[in-house]
Structure 1
Amino acid sequence: MTRPRKRRGTENAQFRQRIPADVRDTVRGLELQLPVGGATVSKHISPKATHIELSLAVPSRDKAEAGMRNAAVSAYLAKLYDKLRSTGSPITLSHEEATMLAGHVYRAWSGGRAAEDVRGRLIAEHGVDLAANVQEGLPNMWRSLEDSALAGQLEVVPLADKLTGPQGVKIDRPSQEILAHANKVALGLAFGKQARNSAGDYSPDTDAARFPAPRAVNTKASQLASSLTPDALFVAWQSNPEQKVRIAQSTVRAYHGVVTAFAQFLAEKRHCKTSEIECSTITKAEVRAFADERLEKGNGVTTVNDRYLAALKSIFGWAAERELLTANPAEGVRLKGEKKGRRAEKVFTDEEAKALLSHATRYKRASANEGRKTAAAKRWVPWLMAYTGTRVGEMAQLRKQDVRRKGERWAIRVTPDAGTVKTKDEWWIPLHHHLIEQGFVEFVNDAKAGHLFLDPNPKGYHPDAPFTRTRDPRGILGPLRALQNRLAEFAREVVTRKTVDPNHGWRHTFKAKGRKPSLGIHPVVLDAIQNHAPRTEGEDYGSGDLFDAMVEAVDKLPRYNVD
């Protein structure tokens, strides 16, 4: 695979690759849509072009990003060339491949029902019983093959299948001659075996071992996979237009972390660089070993299955569906283990919850170097999560316009317009009276328009941004991730237990408290507050606007009394 180039007169890295001679005439004149850093670049191939050149829209000094963009373009072109070859130009067989294909001929004609079917048809068409007269039958049969199957461009299939309408790939003329000779040898050996069998000799077949084991010929999926490292495959997956519609940006970030960790794991085990790992060589055993390693590092069974393995299955499965890989190496890999009690470990204890909320209530801006909005986030976001059960990002990206009255009740709106929402939904949550009493509404009213806890960076996204900075024209995701990290560090100052997430723990805790029978909150309403999907189709009926029911539910939630 080619490497990015530096062209005089520009700082951006360039892609330059020779167009293979066998598809050059077909590619010339095409208008290609090439994936470059999450965007699609139109490239017209001139009638005399011998190479494809274009800017990778990233500085050449950013070698990692330039390399991944270069790989994505190369993978796209490899797939294009594959399609052009399979629909028109013939392929070239190696001698080993030709001998392997001849093995199909030998096995089909040397015995068994397939041989009997062939024999019967040949007797009917040529009046020759090959088993009875090998020396006479072989020349006659071979002339028939040369006059029909080998005329023009031969199709690569077992000759037994050729009698029932083959569907194969075309090979070039030199390969036809190599295959013709290999098939002639195979037929001679097969007819010899039939003759021995007819004479009562059924000794072990030593000729069968001369033919290589059956495999796919010139498999383009394997060729393409060999050009894909895990990072390059991730770029191809992320750049696909489908992901921008279906996959949340937070999921893209999480998947990238998994792919990176997996590639590093493989590099350590194989004693190589991550750039030397070919996706086509990854095995189920290696995926399983990675899962075991995640478990040994303290992750729970559910986390490994639902985070790490789910990400690998999704990305490798996507590649297999599009024939970038011949199989999904993560398919069927899943850890088994006792899950009882794991959910409880993710819930804050009463002491932890009160300690964290007290820590937030007492917090004052550490120094002039700390942003005022960051300090405000440490004061209010833990309380907001405690009374709403929302994700940290959904509260950290709140804007002033997202806090207002809905009817008679103050409420907050969770919306993708503010940044990123995993489900891409928008919904309202009533504010708990304790939040109002603490002065949250006054804090909002005194705040400037826009985001309450972060300052968007209008230059957070540009064409040269590393691909891990997912498309973010509003400049919110970078500051949001930074704030989430600050909030996690802040919570860890008082909550040190590793089995509970310092931010996501509020989501589990809210659900655990809301399920107490004494509160009488319907599960559907509790799910609606947190925007959890209905567990059954029946629960989805009549679950339209539940805001009034949410108000009643929130009012039933007990207060957190802290110092």
Structure 2
Amino acid sequence: MAGRDRNLLNRDGRYFARLVVPRDLRPFMNGKTELRTALGPDYRTALKALPGAVAALQHKIALGERRAAEAGDRPVAIGRYPLSFDQIALRNYNDRLAQDERLRNADPQWASASIDDGNVAQLRRGMAGQLNDRDLAELVKNRIDRFRAIGNTTAEFGTEEWRTLARAICISEYEALSRVAERDEGDFTGKPTHPLIAETKPIDDELPPVPLKGLLADYIKSRKAVGKGREAERRWTPVFANLAQFIGHNDARRLTKQNLLEWRDARLTTLSAKTVADVDLASVRTVLSWAVNNDRLESNVAERVRQDAPKKHLSREKGFTLPEATAILRKARDYVPAKTDNARTTEASQTTAAKRWSPLLCAFTGARIAEITQLRKQDFRKEGETYVMRITPEAGTVKAGGYRDVPLHLQLVEMGFADFVDAAQEGPLFHTNRKDGISAARTVAGRVSQWLQSLEVIPEGVSPNHGWRHRFKTVGRELGISGRTLDAIQGHAVRTAGDHYGDVTIAAKKAALDKFPHYDLSS
């Protein structure tokens, strides 16, 4: 039923997006009590189109709020509708000319009134930057206060921002007075000559909003079309939700650089500089750049919003040493869950299996931990005498996007992993969630990491799971295995155009893995 979906209205089998117009805004919206947009007769199609339609209606409500604020009938938050200095100057210029036109119609004496030459001289000095802040305020403070009141600027007296805006208003006032003087002589054809006014594009208040969250959804959709984007969707969705909540709206057209700077600073109070730089700002910058390239936005206001992050100083190698790796694998081999009589606290058999086998699988494949914990029984097969593991997006997520086959090292087979797979039930080996394997695999991966950390076998500066990827690459290089083969086993992207030619076969991978020595787990 449509009633369950806010803002969706069903009238005689046809659907509409609907917003009620607040009572105090109705005089500024032609007396309308509600706004509607037709969405057609199909419920699913209407539901899909609803968010965009509601955003467009909300934009119309916002325009009504702006008109009410300009009329002085509704308070507005400072900076709610930000404009650049040149846009404010142009709006002031147009306001002054509209005021002049009204006065010429209302009072025949207006055209005969003389222009104050002293005021004109002061405006020239203000334009040139020759006035101090106090004298500038006498000239244009009332105009700046008006634009603050209607939400177009946050500039405060005494700041460089305020002074820049004040000079722009001086230019605007001077140009407007020039047109008034021309009109007094019967010439209504004059145009502004100062570049600040002449070259600024008119403000188009009727441009439809571009929902931030909608841009993210469309960007993710474009990435998924080429087999990517799952990780971005997981990590970036809460980022965009937080940004929209912080700025108080969801319209990318109204997003400003100042918004982003303030949001960045707020995020830094709870997140590391690296996270803010590499996740928060990078995600917004990427999506807005995509929007510009696809003609969804005119500019990317996030382009120059950056955050420096301290460089991590390494005190040792990133991968495990042989003694460290051996100690971890012995703990994994010997792992037995704690006994308990409480069914609620009894560890799931799949979690126990993950703690037992995932470190060994990481050690001999160099795979990412989530690629291991998402494995299913059907991801294993035997070709001749070789057991083969397939890491595939069908099981969850693969960073490189495609599948890859990795032969099992002989030590894994000797330790009974192939027998474990054969005895397992169909479906995931290390978790039970068949509907959301990605989240479940990550949860189990986190539990394995926490368990290893609790054993105090993970050295400081090394990732409990990623350390295996570094070690695998290091050992492979020591054994003289080609970088192309190691990349194919680990799922790293190819580095040159030439690497795209030819395949790294299962036989080639097995020959490489056979060179990896067994770990001595005897003690």
| TMscore range, shorter length | 0.5 to 0.7
1:184-225 residue CA offsets vs partner (Å, 9 max, x unmatched) = 9754656999x9xxxxxxxxxx9969979945412556x726
Give the corresponding residue for 2:519. Answer: 560
For 1:538 and 1:435, locate their aligned partners in 2 and report how far apart those are by CA, in whole Å.
33
1:476 aligned to 2:455?
no
Q: CA deviation at 1:393?
A: 1.7
Asked whether the 8 Å contact 1:525–1:550 carries over to 2, the reply is yes
- What amino acid does structure 1 have at the position aligned with 2:422? N
CA–CA separation in structure 2 for the residues paired with 1:415 and 1:482:
19
Question: Would you say 1:250 and 2:231 are equivalent positions?
Answer: yes
From the superposition, tell whether residues 289 and 185 of structure 1 become closer, same or farther in structure 2 (CA, over 3 Å).
closer
**Following TM superposition, by how much is the alpha carbon of 1:349 offset from its aligned partner in structure 2, in angstroms?**
4.0
Superposed displacement of residue 316, structure 1: 2.9
After the TM superposition, which residues 122-521 of structure 1 pair with which residues of structure 2 at under 5 Å, given as runs? 187=179, 189=181, 214=200, 216-219=202-205, 224=209, 233-234=212-213, 236-238=215-217, 241-246=221-226, 247-259=228-240, 267=246, 275=248, 280-283=255-258, 285-286=261-262, 289=265, 297=272, 306-321=278-293, 326-333=298-305, 342=314, 346-367=318-339, 368=343, 369-457=346-434, 474-493=435-454, 494-495=456-457, 499-516=461-478, 519-521=479-481
On the 8 A contact 1:248/1:422 being kept in 2, the answer is no
SS in 1 for 2:390: strand
Deviation at 1:478, TM superposition (A): 3.4
Q: Which runs of 5+ in 2 are unaligned?
A: 10-15, 22-28, 62-66, 72-82, 97-173
Deviations 1:214-245 (A, max 9, x none): 45412556x726xx5xxxx2355226642442
CA change 1:70–1:7 in 2 (3 A) is closer
Amino acid at match of 1:418: A
C-alpha distance after superposition, 1:143-191 (max 9, x if no partner): xxxxxxxxxxxxxxxxxxxxxxxxxxxxxxxxxxxxxxx9997546569
Whether the 8 Å contact between 1:386 and 1:510 is mirrored in structure 2 is yes
What SS class does the counterpart of residue 366 from structure 1 fall into? Answer: coil
Per mean C-alpha deviation after superposition, the further-off stretch among 448-457 and 330-339 is 330-339
Match of 1:140 in 2: none
RMSD: 5.1
Go from structure 1 to structure 2 and tell me whether the alpha carbon gap of 1:307 and 1:433 turns closer, same or farther (over 3 Å shift): farther
SS class of match (2:225): helix
Normalising by structure 1, we get a TM-score of 0.56
> Residues 240 and 284 of structure 2 are in contact (CA less than 8 Å); yes or no, is this contact kept in structure 1?
yes
1:529 aligns with 2:508: no
Cα 1:415–1:386 change in 2 (3 A) is: same
Matches of 1:31 and 1:444, distance apart in 2 = 52
Which residue pairs with 1:42 in the alignment? 45
Instruction: Name 2:509's counterpart in structure 1.
Output: 550
Q: Is there any run of 5+ residues in structure 1 with no aligned partner, and where?
A: 9-13, 34-39, 44-53, 57-68, 83-90, 107-181, 196-205, 268-273, 458-473
* Distance (whole Å) between structure 2 residues aligned to residue 345 and residue 304 of structure 1: 26
Q: What TM-score do the two structures reach when normalised by structure 2? A: 0.60
Structure 2 CA distance, aligned partners of 1:554 and 1:386?
A: 11
Corresponding residue of 1:17: 19
Contact 2:281 2:302 in 1 (8 A): yes
Q: Measured at CA, do residues 391 and 100 of structure 1 come closer, stay the same or move farther in structure 2, by a change above 3 Å?
A: same
* Aligned-partner residue type, residue 498 of structure 2: G
1:251 offset after TM fit, Å? 2.6
1:232-275, CA deviations, whole angstroms, 9 ceiling, x for partnerless residues? x23552266424424332331122354467678xx5xxxxxx75
Higher relative contact order (CA 8 A, sep 6+): 1
> Which residue type is aligned with residue 217 of structure 2?
Q
What is the CA-CA distance between 1:4 and the residue it aligns to? Answer: 7.4
Matches within 5 A, 1:14-93: 16-17=18-19, 31=40, 41-43=44-46, 74-75=54-55
Shift of 1:304: 6.3
C-alpha distance in 1, partners of 2:266/2:182? 47
Question: Does the 8 Å contact 1:100/1:213 carry over to 2?
Answer: no
